[in-house]
């Protein structure tokens, strides 16, 4: 498939900008959204994983910059997860799995993303405490492995875990998740490259679109955020992608 054919690149880029905006506004890189879009446009798994990781690096990096600038980041809430997630993301990026299994695993993670869109993420605790070290190490390793394996950064899972366990407020979770996604995406990309994988040249053309959408989203989300309609639209896109992954 020609990713740069006009009938593909124009609608794909337009939706990509919206996806980057929405995800960056909550401290995410947007990989689950990018993967859903690529599934809808019938991109092959060989293209989906490296493209999502590449875009994730740029958008999550921008998102972290804005959330950190607004003083929402706390190092002690981040490092326990990163210690194990970074090497496991590398291992996940190195692993090549069957295309059918890849789609099934991706479908499960997109289903989790859908629940996030509908706010099934737990409620904030008034009393915030640092992450339990052993628990954070275990959670970080599991998320890191799957992050590198399918091409996400893991923030879609880490954010609700932080909030549910009382390890941070919404914006704190967003800031931690942004950096978590950034380092995992880099680690996963390195693992992917080491085992001989290549990022399709076409993927680089989508970076400016993701940067623009991500910058606007991070700027808005690090200060305020209330965009229920757009979130539900994105959830609809994810639902269609999940059905396509499991049925096609």
Q: What is the domain partition of the chain in residue ranges? A: 6-247
* Percent residues over pLDDT 70 in the chain: 84
Q: Are 14 and 40 spatial neighbours (Cβ–Cβ below 8 Å)?
A: no
Least confident stretch, 77-91, 176-190, 196-210, 222-236: 222-236
pTM, entire model? 0.81
Q: Given pLDDT bands bounded at 50, 70 and 90, which one contains residue 208?
A: very high
Q: List phi, psi (to 5°) of 115.
A: -60, -35
User: What is the pLDDT, as a whole number, of residue 95?
Assistant: 86
Ordered alpha helix ranges (H), the chain: 6-24, 31-40, 45-69, 79-94, 99-117, 133-150, 155-164, 170-194, 207-221, 228-247
Q: How far apart are CA 19 and CA 28, in angstroms?
A: 10
Tokens of 166: 């009382």
Q: How far apart are CA 84 and CA 138, in angstroms?
A: 8
Report whether pLDDT(240) > 70. Answer: no
- Any residues with CB less than 8 A from the CB of 82 and at least 6 apart, and which? 140, 179, 180, 183
pLDDT digits (tens, 9 = 90+) for 86-110: 999 999 989 888 777 777 777 777 7
Q: Are 237 and 190 spatial neighbours (Cβ–Cβ below 8 Å)?
A: no
pLDDT digits (tens, 9 = 90+) for 17-76: 988 998 888 777 888 888 888 888 888 878 888 999 999 999 999 989 988 888 888 888
Least confident stretch, 119-123, 139-143, 144-148, 232-236: 119-123
C-alpha closest to that of 146 among 175, 190, 184: 184
Please state the rounded mean pLDDT for residues 107-123. Answer: 66
User: What is the pLDDT, as a whole number, of residue 149?
Assistant: 87
Report whether pLDDT(236) > 70. Answer: no
Q: List phi, psi (to 5°) of 140.
A: -60, -40
């Amino acid at each position: 498939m020609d990713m740069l054919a006009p009938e593909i690149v124009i609608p794909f880029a337009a939706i990509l900008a919206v996806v980057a905006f929405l995800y960056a506004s909550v401290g995410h890189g947007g990989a689950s959204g990018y993967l859903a879009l690529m599934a809808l446009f019938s991109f092959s798994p060989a293209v989906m994983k490296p493209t999502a990781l590449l875009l994730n690096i740029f958008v999550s990096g921008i998102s972290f910059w804005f959330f950190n600038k607004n003083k929402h980041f706390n190092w002690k809430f981040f490092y326990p997860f990163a210690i194990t997630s970074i090497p496991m993301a590398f291992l996940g990026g190195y692993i090549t799995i069957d295309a059918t299994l890849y789609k099934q695993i991706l479908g499960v993670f997109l289903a989790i993303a859908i629940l996030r869109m509908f706010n099934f993420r737990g409620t904030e605790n008034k009393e915030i405490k640092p992450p339990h070290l052993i628990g954070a190490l275990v959670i970080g390793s599991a998320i890191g492995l799957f992050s590198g394996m399918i091409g996400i950064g893991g923030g879609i899972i880490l954010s609700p875990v932080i909030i549910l366990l009382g390890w941070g407020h919404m914006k704190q979770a967003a800031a931690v998740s942004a950096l978590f996604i950034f380092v995992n995406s880099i680690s996963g990309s390195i693992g992917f490259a080491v085992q001989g994988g290549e990022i399709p040249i076409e993927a680089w053309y989508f970076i400016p679109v993701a940067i623009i959408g991500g910058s606007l989203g991070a700027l808005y989300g690090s200060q305020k955020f209330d965009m229920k309609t757009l979130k539900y639209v994105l959830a609809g896109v994810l639902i269609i992608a999940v059905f396509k992954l499991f049925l096609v």
